[in-house]
Amino acid sequence: MSTEKKSNSFIEKRALESIPQSERKHWVSIALIWIGAIISVSSLMVGGVLVSGLPLKQALLAGFVGYAIVVLFMTFQGVQGADLGRPTVSSASSAFGKSGASFIISFVIGISVMGWFGVQTSITGSAFSSIMQDWLGVNISFQLSAAIWGGIMLMTAVYGYKALAYLNYVAVPALLIMAVYGTYSVISNFGMDALLSYTPAAPFSFLQGVAITVGGFAVGGVIAPDYSRYAENRKGAILSSVLGVLPMGVILLSAGALMAITAGSADMTQVVSSLGFPLIGLMILILATWTTNAVNAYSGGIALTSMFHLKDDKRPMATAVAGIVGTILAVVGIMNHFIPFLMVLTTGISPIAGVMIADYWIIRKGDPTKWKEEEGVRWTGVISWLIGFAVGYFVHIGSAPVNAIVVAMIATVVLNKFSHTETGSKEESNTDKEVSA
């Protein structure tokens, strides 16, 4: 009986409601979750992709600038989450209206993170099947491997914030050690002079490198309130975002770039195999993917809770559904056809941050007492999001996520000013009537 109660108390039940101050966490705990989210195969691969088109110094600088941009808008999002104690889809109800946030925003975020859960599960399933076949002589099909690991990664997300924190206590040091060892091994064997004189085979521009880096973690920056809502104060939200993403992002990007140069490939499975400890390395990569995928399922569960107007205590069930859908996508092998659709949705996530930042920080002056849930759909926010989405998708100059965020911000401010000029007094009058009633 006591064991059951303890287990139930470990499962996080809060989803959309504000996190009370008594349940807030130290910023280090939140930073570790972000470190776990950025510790992934894709973060290493970003470094490999950058050095495929840029010399090493330019690649590392482009990576730093890209992560700095992500951290900038992530900080604005994160502080709003700490102020309100609410996740992204709930915080967005001011900018998009309750109905707009619960359906449009929840759909875009929910489908995206569920889809990426499937992508990461596919990667993990493939790696695990290779390990079992090459090192133990056991033949496990990709489908079975994906189903097993999808379930394992899902359980962590179902338990919620505490389980994510504990998982990262193990995963973060493991991948950090591997990245440091890999970097040391590469420099020892090849020397810095040879690495610095490296010339990419297919050069691209510095701005393209920045755009690649921003795109790799743009979704994480937008959904920052899902985790910063646990921050004790604004300082905690800022520290957890900056120190949770920027240092580790640059470290992993640098390690991935150096290892990719020597391995001649951005495929991290091949890169790790070339380091001399392929079995341990592949296991660490699986662990790294696990931490990222748990974040995907967790945010997907929050999005589904909002979309279907579920009670907060149904968050674990919604998270389970999000993970199961992602696992099914991986098992049936349709991810290759689904990825273009996911890329469209990912482009649609970035301008959400632009609308939210403009609404909270420019229109409401960053004052939580001025924030309120707007009933129905707030069309100024929805239209601004669509404009930002169109610019991010169709304009191929600079960084698509940054373009989408900036344009959505400007559109929100302009449309809001026009809306208030025409209907502001009417809206204020209606609000006053509702309050007095």
Q: For residues 52 and 210, give the distance between their C-alpha atoms in angstroms, rounded to a whole number.
A: 14
Q: What is the pLDDT of residue 161?
A: 62
Say how many C-beta atoms besides its own lie within 10 A of residue 8's C-beta.
10
Indicate whether 8 pLDDT > 70.
no
pLDDT of residue 338: 62
123 — pLDDT class (breaks 50, 70, 90): confident
pLDDT single digits (tens) 220-269: 899 899 989 999 999 999 999 999 999 989 988 888 888 888 766 656 66
- Which residue has better confidence, 43 or 75? 75
* Tens of pLDDT, residues 305-359: 888 888 878 888 888 898 899 899 888 876 666 667 656 766 888 899 999 999 9
Question: Tell me, what's the pLDDT at 286?
Answer: 77
Print burial letters for 77-112: b (CB count within 10 Å at least 16), e (below 16): bbbbbbbbbbbbbbbbbbbbbbebbbbbbbbbbbbb
Q: What is the mean pLDDT of residues 132-139?
A: 80
Decide if pLDDT at 2 tops 70. no
Instruction: Give the least confident one: 226-230, 366-370, 386-390, 422-426.
Output: 422-426
Q: Supply the pLDDT for residue 69.
A: 93
Q: How far apart are CA 62 and CA 208, in angstroms?
A: 9
- Output the pLDDT for position 46: 86
Dihedral of CA 356/357/363/369: which sign? positive
| Tokens of residue 56, six digits | 């090493």
Q: Of 37, 35, 66, 72, give the one whose Cα is nearest residue 213.
A: 66
pLDDT for residue 172 is more than 80: no
Q: What is the pLDDT of residue 342?
A: 58
State the pLDDT confidence band at 211, using cuts at 50, 70 and 90.
Answer: confident
Confidence class for position 138, pLDDT limits 50, 70, 90: confident
pLDDT in tens, 15-47: 677 899 888 999 999 998 898 778 777 787 888
d(CA 211, CA 401): 8
Please count the other Cβ atoms lying within 10 Å of the Cβ belonging to residue 422: 10
Strand partners, 25: 231
Which token pair is 356?
């939210």
pLDDT of residue 396: 82
Residue 422 has pLDDT above 80, yes or no: no
pLDDT of 375 higher than 60? yes
The pLDDT tens digits for 263-314 are 666 566 666 666 666 666 677 777 777 877 777 888 888 888 888 888 878 8
Average pLDDT of span 40-60: 86
Q: What is the pLDDT of residue 157?
A: 75
Which conformational region is residue 372 in: left (phi greater than 0), alpha (psi within -120 to 50 degrees), or beta? Answer: beta
What average pLDDT does the chain have? 82
Highest mean pLDDT among 122-131, 177-186, 239-248, 283-292: 239-248
Q: Quick one: three-class SS letters along the chain?
A: CHHHHHHHHHCCCCCCCCCCHHHCECHHHHHHHHHHHHCCHHHHHHHHHHHCCCCHHHHHHHHHHHHHHHHHHHHHHHHHHHHHCCCHHHHCHHHHCHHHHHHHHHHHHHHHHHHHHHHHHHHHHHHHHHHHHHHHCCCCCHHHHHHHHHHHHHHHHHHCHHHHHHHHHHHHHHHHHHHHHHHHHHHHHHCHHHHHCCCCCCCCCHHHHHHHHHHHHHHHHHCCHHHHCCECCHHHHHHHHHHHHHHHHHHHHHHHHHHHHHHCCCCHHHHHHCCCCHHHHHHHHHHHHHHHHHHHHHHHHHHHHHHCCCCHHHHHHHHHHHHHHHHHHHHCCCHHHHHHHHHHHHHHHHHHHHHHHHHHHHHCCCCHHHCCCCCCCCHHHHHHHHHHHHHHHHCCCCCHHHHHHHHHHHHHHHHHHHHHHHHHHHHHHHHHHHHHC
For the ranges 137-151, 200-214, 287-301, 314-328, the lowest mean pLDDT is seen at 287-301
Q: How far apart are the first and last CA of the chain?
A: 47
Class for domain 24-88+120-336, per CATH? mainly alpha
* Residue 378 scores a pLDDT above 50: yes
Q: CA torsion sign, 221 to 376 to 300 to 366?
A: positive
pLDDT tops 70 at residue 4: no
Would you say residue 435 has pLDDT above 60?
A: no
* Residue-level pLDDT at 28: 93
Rounded Cα gap, residues 230 and 185, in angstroms? 39
Confidence bin at 95 (pLDDT 50/70/90): very high
Residue 183: pLDDT band (50, 70, 90) is: confident
Q: What is the pLDDT of residue 5?
A: 43
More confident residue, 283 or 361: 361
